[in-house]
Amino acid sequence: MQAAQRPHLIIIGGGFGGLTVARGLKRAAIDITLIDKANHHVFQPLLYQVATAALSPGNIALPLRAIFRNQKNVRVLMNRVDSVMTAEKKIRLVSGDEFSYDRLVIATGARHSYFGHNEWEKNAPGLKTLADALKIRQKILVAFERAEALLSVGKADANELRRLLTFVIVGAGPTGVELAGSIAEIAHYTLRKEFRGINPDTARIVIVDAASHVLTAFPSVLGDSAARALQKLKVEVHTQTAVTNITPAGVQIGEEFVPTANIFWAAGNTASSMLKSLGSELDRAGRAMVGDDLAIANFPEVSVIGDAAHAIDSATGNPLPGVAPVAIQQGLYLARKIKQELRGKIAPKFRYWDKGSMATIGRGRAVAKLGKLHFSGFIAWLMWSFIHILYLIGFRNRFAVMSLWIYSYLTNSRTVRLITADDL
């Protein structure tokens, strides 16, 4: 007698959510196809450290095939999904090939949103992938090298040097704050004695946001603490100020035009356009509206999690934030839910446990919110460091990152200041 065919789960996206679902089903009687446009999982909270030369890409990423080497029920495909045909229970790749599924999990994450000004992306790159991080690292380091080269041959006037050594970060959420703090440390500490012509300490670092304070997802007292920490690093903090234009020459911040060659975007996200093919309700950011079982309306076999989902926190009634802990908890829930359904049981509804929020503002500085408890300064930085080491994938990466952080803290240096393309 022929054995019954095992159900087929397709997971789109190898980020925190997709990875957690697949790993949680290691011993389940289900076949899994994990599809991602990259061949690796990246620890996104530390991308800014790759962008600012503190870590190498290999410190925060692992190949997906290596992660699932010993999980026989997972097949990894490096490819892009073009659309989902929910009525037929199929997905279509950009190549035109189609795959059928019994269950589908969409965990495609998000890209940066320019609020209708996509033309700004060329001059203001965002930070979502390793490729983004390496481009930003290149841009930061090349700015100092170009300034030194021009000054050395006597071709740079004061305005051009000022433009090259001005860095503007648009968006004062965790990514923007962390990026601004790290760039300030590079300019004011790491590179201070390494040039003979320019003085890196004269670099101008600006962070701007239309919100009332930095880190709006945190209590205002922690936002104010983060702003003070940035100001101690000589970062100009502009809140309640909108960016109205970005050009190759610079950025319009309120009524001031700031000439700069270095603009970095950390202000807003938009979900994958592939979600439009679901035919279900989307929010203004393009995220799929899901119920308390993380499924879309009318198709209980299709779940959307992480940054791609608009899910409501049952405790507060507000949408869940697009952060790694949400994606991880949703992934754990879905793995349990699928295993229970395979046994013919009904799974409970998803409930998010808010374990707190953290953001770092450079060496030895951070803010943290754990329930009703607020922390800032060195203690918060130690907490932030421990949590990020704990969540990194792979012992080698944990050991390497911890060692590099200790070395960087003691020496105030950044060891990965490599320019790998001819940008001069």
Tell me phi and psi for residue 91, to 5 degrees.
Answer: -120, 155
Number of neighbouring beta carbons within 10 Å of residue 413: 14
Verify whether residue 281 is a known catalytic residue.
no
Number of neighbouring beta carbons within 10 Å of residue 316: 10
Contact partners, residue 314, CB within 8 Å, separation at least 6: 292, 349, 351, 352
CA distance 47 to 404: 15
Measured between its terminal Cα atoms, the distance across the chain in Å is: 69
From 148, 178, 256, 301, the catalytic residue: 178
Q: Which two tokens stand for residue 222?
A: 């922690």
DSSP state of 415: S
Burial of 162 (0-12, 13-18, 19+ CB in 10 A): middle
Cβ proximity of 185 and 152 under 8 Å: no
Which residue's structure tokens are 């841009």? 139
Cβ proximity of 159 and 108 under 8 Å: no
Q: Which residues form the catalytic set?
A: 178
